[in-house]
Amino acid sequence: MAWSDSALKDLATEFGIATEFYDWRGQQIEISEATVVAILAAMDVDAADAAKAAAALEEHRNKPWTKTIPPCVVMEQGTSQQVLVHVPDGEWVRLAIRTEDGDWLDVRQVFHVVDPRWVSGKLIGEAAFELPGDLPLGYHALQATTAAGQEESMLVVSPHFLGFPERLGAKRAWGYAVQLYSTRSQRSWEFGDLVDMADLATWSGKVQGADFMLVNPLHAAQVVAPVECSPYLPASRRFINPLYIRPESVAEYSELSDDERARVFNLKASLADEIPEKRLIFRDEVWNAKRAALWVIYQHGRRPARQMALEAFIEREGPALTQFATWCALSENYGDDWREWPPDLREPDSAAVAEFDAANRERVVFYVWLQWVAELQLCEAQASARDAGMLIGVMNDLAVGVGIESSEAWTYGDLFANGVSVGAPPDHFNQLGQDWTQLAWRPDRLEELCYAPFRTMVAGLLRNSGGIRMDHIMGLFRLWWIPNGMTPAQGSYVRYDYQAAIGILVLEAYRAGALVVGEDLGVVEPWVRGYLRDRGVLGTSIAWFEHDHQGNPLKPEQWREYCLASVTTHDLPPTAGYLAKSHIYLQHRLGLLTESLESALASAEAQQQHYLDMLKAEGYLLHSETDVEEVVLALHRYLSATPARVLCAALVDAVGDHLTQNQPGTDKEYPNWRIPLSHPDGAPMMIEEVFADERARRLAEVMNAAPVPVWEPEVTLA
């Protein structure tokens, strides 16, 4: 397709919008002009006709010349980097760095000849300064001094290479992947919680010999029914879902009166009548009971030292915490979609919101208190993991984004693009593409804010964990934007400053002594995996997806070293279910197949037979291929033969669970994210039963017997 407007195509390039891309089949796909115009409009750029596109292009190219220094500069330690400075032509400028420690360093100007440019009636010149490569790691201030005054921006110096935490050494790590809400205990409120997580971590580390436990995103959800079931569609990625709190483990619970304790007991007991079906997770009922119980505990009050600790937490988290708590309280009064609130409440800084906050202060502080309690229990879970001998401990999962009705959308406003959602183009598994109904961060606003929302979010997740898994890490490089009213296939990729985002991610992880795993499945530009590897960020490899060009299972020695390697993932059935082709039958029943049931079953059978043949030929399958548990163990022996530094076993595989947790492409058709951990016969399984499970013991023996390849040491610059 020949573009009718060259200025529009240039404008798309300037804003990082793809005008073409290669799809999952390797075919070049061209993006329509209508899609580009709509995406530009989402970034407040009017390119509706050729004249407007040309004017917008000139304005965008002039924008850097209107600022003395860039709002944010991210560089790698060990590599010098130039910064372009703009001042009225012929005027002097001095550039200096104020480090985190308060030291001052002058920055040297280097030879740079560029013609001055007329911008808004002024002739502006450009000078270049070189930032030295030996700057200390951290967040520093870049200060430009001119005749007109001073201007500051942020300078981020990141390690070039992250790699593995020093405490891991040359050891290969393995751990369990757990959907926490599904792992219920006899003491939890029909919902897996942070105390269950601590207990699972203790068992995993002390008894099983695991080094980490990867949990689903624990991000905050809505506070009024219906509560979103998917942990990957949160209301806020910065804060924790208080649904994971164990009320009886809050310190003040032990101080309750007999009457108060009876009220909490009765709220928990009521769930037995409200949840008749134990084979599903009922978030709304659990949250209503648990929130009421937590309100009883909150109203009891706190000892002076505990109150001081709460106040210190509030001070550390800053205004964002109070705004989130206010959103929670407002949601209780007006519903969870802020777009339907009274107009004067739709802006977090409005006078009406301030009046509401003052009138409902106790309820706002209650939601602040819930975040404090949740963080304390998460901290205790990580401490339990490390005390049990885990070298990494809890590994938190970070979702891709949030929805338009979320608290973040209300809080951050124009940080998000207006009129688009995030998804994925058509691929082998979703040939119509996917619309995740999530908002897209604007690349230009992120830079203007010096990536503050991203920095605080990552730092918060790493505060009480030994690792982080970033779902769809390709989103730091590019995201598939879908204009409202268009299908997923009609979207386009929008690029982000991946060097800045990865730099901040690596710096935060380095300071926390944490591991970073990026989920890099699906349509990935080939160079992206290489870049992540060069920065010491692990990729993700799934056994069922690792094959050569002929479709044969990839030989173990051909796997990546820098990856989190597992047999399955949460978007597939447990391995026992996968072997039974339950996903094929489910997709057929829900009308999701793009081919006949017979054809899909035949393809799945052929794929599985390739793996079974390989497992037998390589000596991983020791007994019958019809023994499901033996095939599961064989697949993990195969996994252990790869050079992957980090291995992951799904808890569902450890106990022989068959049930699918999530069926992509469905919403109400299947109870996604509502399936409890289950026995092989489908009966719900409590974690007390997990602790004594022989299948789990046998799988742990396989994981612990994994040979440790010899790796060349790689050192992070410091």
SS (H, E, C) 143-165: EEEECCEEEEEEEEEECCCCCCC
pLDDT at 718: 37
Q: Which helix (H) or strand (E) holds 356?
A: helix 351-359
pLDDT at 717: 39
357-366: pLDDT as tens digits: 999 999 999 9
CA distance 420 to 425: 14
Task: Indicate the pLDDT class of residue 141, thresholds 50, 70 and 90.
Answer: very high
CA distance 130 to 109: 6
Q: Which CATH number fits domain 79-158: 2.60.40.10, 3.40.50.300, 1.10.760.10, 3.40.50.2000?
A: 2.60.40.10
| Residue type for position 302 | R
pLDDT at 243: 98
Cβ atoms of 266 and 189 within 8 Å: the answer is: no
696-717: pLDDT as tens digits: 999 999 999 977 665 554 544 3
pLDDT at 429: 64
pLDDT at 714: 54
Report residue 566 as tokens. Answer: 């597992």
Measured at the CA of 604, the angle between CA 623 and CA 397, to 5 degrees, comes to 90
Lowest mean pLDDT among 196-200, 295-299, 311-315, 544-548: 544-548
HSE (CB half, 13 Å, CA atoms) of 329?
Answer: 27
Pairing of strands 434-438, 515-518: unpaired
pLDDT at 710: 54
pLDDT at 715: 46
Task: Indicate the pLDDT class of residue 143, thresholds 50, 70 and 90.
Answer: very high
399-409: pLDDT as tens digits: 999 988 999 99
pLDDT above 70 covers a percentage of the chain that reads 98
Interval 45-71 mean pLDDT = 94
pLDDT at 708: 64
Residue 138 above 50 pLDDT?
Answer: yes
Cβ atoms of 211 and 261 within 8 Å: the answer is: no
Q: Which helix (H) or strand (E) holds 177?
A: strand 173-178
pLDDT at 331: 97
pLDDT at 348: 95
pLDDT at 709: 63
Name the DSSP letter for residue 558.
G
74-93: pLDDT as tens digits: 999 999 999 999 999 999 99
Task: Work out the mean pLDDT of the chain and round it to a whole number.
Answer: 94
Interval 490-504 mean pLDDT = 97
H helices then E strands: how many in the chain?
22, 25
CA distance 164 to 278: 41
Which residues belong to CATH 2.60.40.10 in the chain?
Answer: 79-158
What pTM, to 2 d.p., does this model score?
0.94
pLDDT at 426: 83
| Residue type for position 376 | L
pLDDT at 295: 98
pLDDT at 591: 87
Interval 566-580 mean pLDDT = 95
